[in-house]
A = this chain, B = another copy of it.
Amino acid sequence: MNRAERAQMAMMLEVCAYPKPGNVDRCHDYEDTRLEHFLASTILARPVFDAAERDGGRVGSLIREAVRRTNNHSGGNTHFGAFILLVPLVLGGDIEGARRVVAETDVEDAVDFYAAFGLTSVRMGESDDLDVNDPASIAAIRERGMTLADIMAYSAPRDMVAREWTNGFALTRRCADLLHAHGCGRKAIVDAFLDLLATEPDTFIAKKHGMEVAERTMRCAAEVLENKRDLTAFDVECIRDGINPGSIADITIAGIYVALGEGWRWDC
């Protein structure tokens, strides 16, 4: 399995694993975003991963191209966060390589990334002076000489995916370690996902519902692990309230990519 295939397999395996509280999985759709949307993005992103593996290329424009290719269906952009992690991982091969990719980003990567952002409906936060929908933001990036790594550092306090760029892919590494520890196959993915959910407030939830809800979700996941709360009931509640831990899902995809490269077996 080459890097591009590993990235696609990670995207596919993550969305098929169940039950993952609150997220689209094999057993749950949201009304507008369904399993097929996630799997279509998995298929349609391939040329970008292929190009990254074969030709290298620039991380900002590759993320923009991945978003552009996977933005054409009604499900919205399903994997923006995953691409932010997978593109440097595929370019660099592994976490060490991805850190080098991150360190070498420049202003053009930042500008391309903003163009990718503009293609999605993802919000950065209302108080943001680098609003992606404001053309002045691009001018501000150029004027300040901000690299894409700088942009991620700027977003890191509010976004755990961006934070991976600033901390050397620490949660991605932890997720891969959890997968190795939990054994092979689908159940290990669910277990690793729950471990992360029980210890980290999901910033996608925090942006949508506030930090208090993100922290409550974290405590509920911990109770599931302590057998004090029923997993299925927790899943139903999350789905009902639109509480979906999308950022931990993105990090899980990156963790699966890394683990597969280290010999972790999806098929057992």
Copies in the complex: 2
**Please, which residue of chain B has its CB at the minimum distance from the CB of A2?**
B47
Contact between chains at B73 and A36 (CB < 8 Å):
no
Contacting pair B40 A12 (CB below 8 A): yes
A16–B39 CB distance below 8 A:
yes
- Is A227 positioned at the interface, with any CB of B under 8 Å from its CB? no
Chain B CB within 8 A of A266 CB: yes
Selected from B1, B13, B39, B266, the residue in CB contact (under 8 A) with A12 is: B39
Residue of B nearest to A13 (CB): B36
Chain B residues whose C-beta falls within 8 Å of the C-beta of A39 in the assembled complex? 12, 16, 39
Looking at the complex, which one of B5, B26, B37, B186 makes contact with A267 (CB distance below 8 Å)?
Answer: B37
Given A36-B267, A267-B37, A9-B43 contact (CB < 8 Å): yes
Are B26 and A266 in touch, CB under 8 angstroms? no
In addition to A12-B39, A27-B27, A43-B43, 11 A-B residue pairs with Cβ atoms within 8 Å of each other are: A1-B44, A9-B40, A12-B40, A16-B35, A26-B35, A34-B186, A36-B186, A37-B267, A43-B46, A46-B46, A74-B268
